[in-house]
């Protein structure tokens, strides 16, 4: 496995920064419903930015740095990331949504930094095991108290 590029590390840090939204709830700074409203607002902002980027000629250097080549003419991954977190916040309660959000914001970047595989191929067993362990550790404090140990 090679060392990840600087751009890849930056993309993964953007992923990890998404933990700030569920942390607002976990720290008691906002109610769950308010967090949903914040996500809707953020999704609206992201939609405007993506429309301007794709159709309005918005060319910020950050887009060149943080988007992949295949995202240049398509909705960028950061937007899909925000949309998915918004949907999860609106559809599920915090005991399900927060672990899912943390898996996306923390687990996925760790997995990506540990190794990648060509499209259609599996990552290494070591990477998959690490991803499972991280995601389990992120989910357990939320899910076990609600469902109990099976």
- In the chain, how many domains are there? 1
Q: Is residue 1 part of a domain?
A: no
113 within 8 A of 12, measured Cβ to Cβ: yes
Angstrom distance (rounded) from CA 64 to CA 7: 10
Q: Is residue 43 part of a domain?
A: yes
Q: Is residue 150 part of a domain?
A: no
Angstrom distance (rounded) from CA 98 to CA 25: 9
Question: Taking the model in full, what pTM does it have?
Answer: 0.79
Return per-residue pLDDT of the chain as tens, 150 residues.
567 677 677 777 777 888 999 999 999 999 999 999 999 999 999 999 888 888 877 676 666 666 667 677 788 878 888 999 999 999 999 999 999 999 988 888 888 778 776 667 777 888 888 889 999 999 999 888 877 666
Q: Is residue 31 part of a domain?
A: yes
């Amino acid at each position: 496995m090679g060392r990840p590029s600087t751009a890849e590390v930056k993309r993964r840090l953007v992923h990890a920064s998404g933990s700030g939204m569920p942390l607002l709830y976990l720290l008691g700074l906002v109610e769950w419903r308010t967090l949903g409203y914040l996500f809707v607002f953020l999704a609206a902002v992201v939609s405007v930015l993506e429309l301007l980027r794709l159709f309005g000629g918005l060319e910020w250097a950050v887009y060149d740095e943080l988007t992949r080549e295949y995202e240049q003419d398509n909705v960028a991954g950061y937007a899909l990331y925000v949309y998915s977190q918004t949907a999860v916040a609106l559809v599920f309660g915090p005991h399900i949504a927060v672990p899912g959000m943390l898996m996306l914001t923390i687990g996925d970047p760790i997995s990506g930094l540990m190794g990648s595989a060509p499209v259609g191929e599996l990552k290494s067993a070591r990477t998959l095991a690490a991803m499972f362990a991280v995601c389990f550790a992120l989910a357990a404090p939320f899910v076990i108290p609600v469902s109990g140990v099976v």
